[in-house]
Amino acid sequence: METAKNKTDQALFNTVLSLADSTLILSHRLSEWCGHGPIIEQDIAMSNIALDLIGEARNFYDYATKLEGAGKTEDDYAYFRESKEYKNALLCEQLNGDFAHTVVRQFFFDCWHIHFLDALRNSPDENLAAIAEKSYMEVSYHIKWSSEWVIRLGDGTEKSKQKMETALKALWPFSGELLEATEDEKILIAVGILPDFETLKTVWLEQVTTILTRATLEVPTGKNTAQTGGKTGRHSEYLSYLLAEMQSVQRAYPGLKW
Amino acid sequence: MMTTRDKSAVWEILERVCDPEIPVITIADLGVLRDVRIHEDGEVEVIITPTYSGCPAMNMIAVEIRLALKAEGIEKVKITTQLSPAWTTDWFSEEGKKKLKQYGIAPPVDASPHVRQLFGQETGIECPQCGSTHTQLLSQFGSTSCKALYQCQDCKEPFDYFKCHR
């Protein structure tokens, strides 16, 4: 019995870290747009979304510190782990590319995020439910933002449509990982702490299809789980560069405070 | 030298702590101040809740709370952040809404049901400068997480709107 409990505890810890990492890494990517946005309103929009995501990441890291019970802080997880210890989905670490790439990456992520949080609000795990309840309201603005841009650019000019098609094709193979349960997530789904991923997959595809159709874009063909492994620590080279920049100050001056 | 204070006395002190971003409203107006607990050992526990998950003002608010209590001789303070029930603009006091408007920020109004629909926006937001409701959304994301940017179509003044959040 005790072994089963330990197994669930470990799975919960790994999964909470994975959720924290995905939101942190995507937040960092979005923050790279700060000062470089196509127009100031969108520069501010991306920074605001980044801020919401970093807030959510902090809530998950904070919960992870309690689960681990080793006296660590949020910063220990964010600044002092190597890329192979990071458990973010590969989609989140993909380069910003052009604005179309950033919009498509955000759109795929938001379509997962909103429905995942919606279901997680009913988790018997009170900490997860509270974090989900808090972030759900914020994410409803994110998905509105990304969906509107998918429609504007897809159903825009010939050039914007072509850029969206390129971005969709490039990011599609990464878009399914968030909904592909890891061994840890399977344990939590079995005990009801996480929602059923199969239902979420259906809802995700429906939403993606609805918006892409409205944007006069085609849903890419091929497996959307061709690229996975991020959630268990297998990353592209992009993550190491991102971490090198994000962690540089704490690596040089450990424990430095503002 | 202070000894023990009852809850209402502590609450009165905390009620005067202002939001660092919008200094005309207090953390009580905003609904960020949730509860005060006086423990047997005299420790004062202040329960606060963030407006948005990533609100960078939360650290400053905790500092302001400690300073306000210290000025009254209360030094044994614990600040607890509570996420649930999640903050919504329904926690905003009527008094706080009046103060916001005077300050030049349009207060939150009940969101029309289509606000989260694609390309939907809240209508009838009153311009805090001229009072016209002929206003238009410029961006859903404004100078802070909790605000959207609007522009009055009559006096042409752009203004912040404290967006409805629930």
> Residue B151: beta bridge partners?
B136, B158
Across the interface, whether the CB atoms of A45 and B140 are under 8 A apart is answered: yes
Q: What is the DSSP string of B3-44?
A: ----HHHHHHHHTTPBPSSSTTSBHHHHT-EEEEEE-TTS-E
Show residues of chain B in contact with A41, CB under 8 Å.
138-139, 141, 149
Instruction: For residue A102, give both structure tokens.
Output: 């950033």
Determine the 3-state secondary structure of B91 from DSSP: helix
Across the interface, whether the CB atoms of A133 and B149 are under 8 A apart is answered: no
CB pairs A-B closer than 8 Å: 75
ipTM: 0.90
For the whole prediction, is pTM greater than 0.90?
yes
Q: In what order do the strands lie in the sheet with B147-152?
A: B105-106, B158-162, B147-152, B135-139
Q: Which parts of chain B register pLDDT below 50?
A: 1
> Residue B79: beta bridge partners?
B46
Q: Is the pLDDT of residue A199 over 90?
A: yes
**pLDDT band at residue A160 under the 50/70/90 scheme:** very high
Closest residue on chain A to B141 (Cα) = A45
* H or E element, residue B61: helix B57-71
Q: Is the pLDDT of residue A145 over 80?
A: yes
Across the interface, whether the CB atoms of B50 and A53 are under 8 A apart is answered: no
Q: What are the structural domains, with CATH classification, of chain A?
A: 4-252 (1.20.1260.10)
Q: What is the pLDDT of residue B111?
A: 66
Give A42 to chain B, closest Cα distance, Å. Answer: 8
CA distances from B4 to A60, B11, B37, B45 (A): 36, 13, 12, 13
Average pLDDT of chain A, as a whole number = 96
Across the interface, whether the CB atoms of A45 and B85 are under 8 A apart is answered: no
Mean pLDDT computed over A194-216: 98
Show residues of chain B in contact with A55, CB under 8 Å.
50, 52-55
Q: What is the pLDDT of residue B1?
A: 44
pLDDT digits (tens, 9 = 90+) for A52-109: 999 999 999 999 999 999 999 999 999 999 999 999 999 999 999 999 999 999 999 9
Q: What is the pLDDT of residue B151?
A: 94
- Residues in Cβ contact with B136 at an 8 Å cutoff, skipping those fewer than 6 apart: B121, B150, B151, B153
Give A216 to chain B, closest Cα distance, Å. Answer: 16
